Chain A
Amino acid sequence: MTEAVMTLPQARRSRLSFGQFLALLIIALLVIWTAVPLFMAVMWSLVNPDDPWSPPAVLPPSLSLAQWEYVFTYSEIAKAVTTSFLLAPIVTLLSFVLALPTAYAIGRFSFPGKEALRILILLPVVMPAMVIAMFLSRVFYGLGLSQTFLGLVIGHTLLAMPYMLRILATAFEAIPQDVIDAARNLGAGRLALVRHVLVPMVLPGLFAGAVFTFITSLEEFNLTFVIGTPTFQTIPTVLFDYLGYHFVRTNAAVVSIILMVPSVALLFIAERFLKTEYLSSAFGKL
C-alpha cells in the first residue's frame, strides 16, 4: 500500500517532464523550420556586391545594404508598394460593404439553399486561382476592364471577400439570441439593437475579417499578374519577376522581406483577436 502511494507521484512527475521535453523539442524544431528560411532570405538581401556569397562560405562574408538600395532606387518597388497599399484598403472596404448584409442573413436566419450558398462563398478561395484569373481577364478584356485599377479592385474583392463573409457570418451566428431578446424586452428599437448589441459583439469578427481580407489583397498574385501587369505592378508581381525570367536572388530576397513584413506584423498585432474559431471558420466549417 505504502509502495503504491510512494510510486504514484514519481510516475506523474516523469510523465510531465516527458511531455514538457517533447513540447520544448517541438518548439525548437518549429523555430528552426520557420526561422531558418527567413534568416537565409535576410542574409541574401544583405550580400555585399564586392564580396559575393559563394562556397565555401556558409554565410555572406560581409554584409551591406547595397541590395536594398538597389531595389529601392531601380526597381518597380516604389510604384508597387503604392499600388498594393492603395488596393488593399479599398478592397477591404468594398468587401465589408458587400459582405455585411449577406453575412447577417447567413448568420442569423435559416432558409433553404443556405448550405449551397455557403459553398458558393467558399469557391473563390478554393478554386484554382490561375484559371479564374486567366478567363476572368478575358471577360474583363471584353468589358474594357483589362489593365485597369477597377478591374484589379473587382478581382481582388472576388478573392478576398469570402474571408470577410465567412468570418462575419460566424460572428453573427455567435450572438446569443437571449441577449437580443433581453434587449428587446427592455424596449430597444432596431437602431439601438444594432448600435449597442450587434455591432460590439461583431467587432472582433469584423477586425479579424478585415485583417484576412487586407492580407489576401496584399498577397494576391495570379489575378494581378494576368489582369494588371505590365500597367500595374504590385509587390507580388515584382517578386515574381525576380524569381522567374529575370531571376536575381538578392533582389528577390529584398522584395520577399518587403512583402512579408506587413503580413506577419498584422498577424502578431491581431493575435489577440484571431481566436482559432475565426481561422477555422474561414476554412474548416461549412
Chain B
Amino acid sequence: MTSRRVFLSGALTVVAMLGGAAVCQAADDYRTMPWDKVVEAAKAEGEMTFYAWWGEEFWRTAAKDFEGKYGIKVNVVTGDRPANIGKVVAEASSATGTIDALLVGGVELKSLLDAKALYGPLVGVIPDSDKLDAKLSKVQEGYATGGYLVPVYRNQTGFVYDPEKVPNPPQSWADFTAWLDANPGQFAFNDPSKGGSGQAFVQAAIVNVLGDEERYAGDTELDEKKVADWGKVWDWFNANQDKFTITASNNDSLDRVNQGEVMMAAAWDDDTSVSLAKGTLFKRAKLYIPALGMPGGGDSLGIPANALHKAAAMLFVAYLVQADVQKQLNATIGSYLARTDITGENALIPEEQRQKNGRAWIPGAYKGYFIQQFVSEVLQK
C-alpha cells in the first residue's frame, strides 16, 4: 500500500514537473503567443513594478487608468536615474528581479544591452509597435537595440530664451558666437555628466567648431582618429569660459532663465513644457531649435529578462504606445510622440523646425567620450 502510494506520488511529481515545465515553457513565451493569451496571463499576474526617473505625473496617471482598464496594479517608482539602471544590471545575474518594466535612455542603455539583461525582442510583438518611429525602434545612441527597447516618446533639445531680452534669437553658429560676445555669461547649459541638454549643446559645439557632422555616423566604437582634433573644441570652450554659465542639471538651466540670471539656455522640449505648466518658468519663455542644429532622440521601455510579471509588463508597454495614451503623454509631459501616425497637440516647437534643425545624437561611444573629456579638459582647467 505504502510503496504504491510512494510510487504514485513519485510518478505524479515527475508528471507534474514535466507538465509544469511544459506549461512554463509555453507560459514563458509571451513573445510568440497570440496577444489575447498575453492579456489573460497579464490579468492572472495581477500586478507589476515600473521604474522611471522623471515624468511621474504621466506614469502615475497612466498606471491608474491601466489598473482601471485591466485590473492590474502598477507600482510606479521614480528613482535616481543611474540607480535604476544600476539596479537592473546588479539584479541581472539573479533568477528573479524586482523590476518588471523600466524607462531606458541615454548612454546607460549600453550597459543593459551588454549585460543581456533585457527580455525580447519586443518590437514587432507589441501591438502597434510597427507604428513607432522606425529609426528609434532599431538603433538608439548609435547602438543596435535588436528590438529589445520599445520607443515610448521622442524628445528634442533647443534653446529656451526670454523674448523680452532676446528679440532676435541667433540662428547660425556665427550668429550665436556673436551673441555670446555681446552678452557674456547670459547663456547657460548644464554639466554634460548631469543632464542631456548640456550634452546636446556640447555636441552642437563639436559639430559646428569642427564641421563634418557625418564622420561619426554608424560607429559603435570610438575611433581614435576621428576625435584627434577635438582639442580645438575644448580650446574654444576654455577661451569662452566666462561667457557661459554651467549649471548642475537640466532643470537648473531652466531655473536660471526663470530667475533672470541668464537670458538663454540649452533645454529639452519636454522639460520646458513641464516647467511652464508647473509655474517654475515664466509663461513668456520660448523654445526654438537654432539653425546650427541641436540633437534629439527619444527614450524607450524595456523589460528585464528576469522580470516576475512579464505578461503584465508587456501589456503595460502596449498600453503606453496606444494612440490615445500617447496623446495623453504628450499633453501631460510635453514629449513628442513615439508614434509616427498621429501627432500630439502640445508642441512647443513647430514641426518644420524639428525637421529642419533637429539632428540625430552622435553615437553613444563618442557621447560617453565627450562627457568625460568635457570634465577633464574644460571643467578642470
Interface residues in chain A, defined as those with a beta carbon under 8 Å from any beta carbon in chain B: 47-55, 66-67, 70, 73-76, 147, 225, 229-231, 233, 237, 240-241, 244-250
Whether B255 sits at the interface, judged by CB under 8 Å, is yes
**What is the CB-to-nearest-CB distance from B259 to chain A, in angstroms, rounded to a whole number?**
6
B248-279 contacts to A, CB under 8 A, are 248-252, 255, 258-260, 277-279
Whether B357 sits at the interface, judged by CB under 8 Å, is no
Interface residues in chain B, defined as those with a beta carbon under 8 Å from any beta carbon in chain A: 51, 53-54, 56-57, 60, 77-81, 83-84, 87, 98, 194-195, 248-252, 255, 258-260, 277-283
Q: How far is the CA of A247 from the CA of B255 in the complex (A)?
A: 9
Q: How far is the CA of A51 from the CA of B279 in the complex (A)?
A: 6
Q: Nearest chain-B residue to A238 (Cβ)?
A: B78
Q: Is the CB of A230 within 8 A of B194?
A: no
Which of A230, A244, A247 is in CB contact (< 8 Å) with B87? Answer: A230
Q: Is the CB of B277 within 8 A of A73?
A: no
With A48-B279, A74-B60: A247-B260 Cβ-Cβ less than 8 Å? no
Q: Which residues of A contact B252 (CB under 8 A)?
A: 247
Q: Which residues of A contact B54 (CB under 8 A)?
A: 246
Q: Which residues of B contact A229 (CB under 8 A)?
A: 79-80, 83
Residues of A contacting B: mostly:
loop
Q: Is the CB of B278 within 8 A of A230?
A: no
Q: Nearest chain-A residue to B255 (Cβ)?
A: A249
Interface centre among A50, A76, A240 (most CB of B within 10 A): A76
Which of B77, B81, B255, B277 is in CB contact (< 8 Å) with A245? Answer: B81
**What is the CB-to-nearest-CB distance from A133 to chain B, in angstroms, rounded to a whole number?**
13
Q: Is the CB of A247 within 8 A of B279?
A: no
With A49-B278, A52-B280, A54-B259: A230-B77 Cβ-Cβ less than 8 Å? yes
Q: Nearest chain-A residue to B91 (Cβ)?
A: A147
Q: Is the CB of A230 within 8 A of B84?
A: yes
**16 CB-based A-B contacts, threshold 8 Å:** A49-B277, A49-B278, A52-B279, A52-B281, A52-B282, A53-B279, A70-B57, A75-B78, A76-B78, A230-B79, A230-B83, A233-B77, A247-B250, A247-B255, A248-B251, A248-B280
Q: Nearest chain-B residue to A76 (Cβ)?
A: B78
Closest 4 pairs (CB-CB, A-B):
A230-B79, A49-B279, A55-B260, A247-B251
Q: How far is the CA of A101 from the CA of B266 in the complex (A)?
A: 59
Q: Is the CB of A75 within 8 A of B56?
A: yes
Q: Is the CB of A52 within 8 A of B255?
A: no
Q: Which residues of A contact B57 (CB under 8 A)?
A: 70, 74
**What is the CB-to-nearest-CB distance from B41 to chain A, in angstroms, rounded to a whole number?**
26
**What is the CB-to-nearest-CB distance from B79 to chain A, in angstroms, rounded to a whole number?**
3
Q: How far is the CA of A233 from the CA of B76 in the complex (A)?
A: 12
**What is the CB-to-nearest-CB distance from A76 to chain B, in angstroms, rounded to a whole number?**
6
Q: Which residues of B contact A53 (CB under 8 A)?
A: 258, 279
Q: How far is the CA of A147 from the CA of B195 in the complex (A)?
A: 26
Q: Which residues of A contact B51 (CB under 8 A)?
A: 230
Q: Is the CB of A54 within 8 A of B80?
A: no
Q: Which residues of B contact A48 (CB under 8 A)?
A: 279
Q: Is the CB of B281 within 8 A of A241?
A: no
With A49-B278, A248-B278: A55-B259 Cβ-Cβ less than 8 Å? yes
Q: How far is the CA of A229 from the CA of B53 in the complex (A)?
A: 12
Q: Is the CB of A52 within 8 A of B258?
A: yes
Q: Which residues of A contact B251 (CB under 8 A)?
A: 246-248
